[in-house]
Amino acid sequence: MKIEKLVFAVIICSFIAFGANAQSKTGLKFGANFTNLYVDEVDDNNMKIGFNAGLYHREYLTKNIAIQPEVLFSQKGSSVKYEGGFLTGSGTYRYNLNYLEVPVLAMIKLSNFYVSAGPYAGLLLSVNIKDVDDDG
């Protein structure tokens, strides 16, 4: 719980501090996630396509350098076929994971595009595991 409060405080402070400068941009962000699960004992695994969406705030430190904190909701997961070994029994299971992610990106503008990198914190909000082969 302390980490959640710290992440929230950092987000609020960054938006307040950056909001006073005219060299900034705030907006919405949408994208796609392509995730998979790789385990040695699994015979088949399939990629899950999810989405991410949220808010960002880009603060320009110079003409070509910016800091961009974000708050995103992100879906991840996979569909996996087990043939004994890893779990007792066999079957196909679908994993759906929902995250709250808070990346803080350093951005460098090169001509007409940006190169960005930075750390992020992710908080697992929910997990749903479904037995695809289950008739009930």
What digits encode the pLDDT tens for the residues 56-113? 999 999 989 999 999 999 999 888 776 665 556 677 778 899 999 999 999 999 988 9
Residues 6+ apart with CB under 8 A from 88: none
Report which of 30, 5, 14, 29 is spatially closest to residue 66, judged by C-alpha positions. 14
Average pLDDT of the chain to the nearest whole number: 81
Helix (H, G, I), strand (E, B) or coil at 19: helix
pLDDT, position 38 = 73
Helix (H, G, I), strand (E, B) or coil at 4: helix
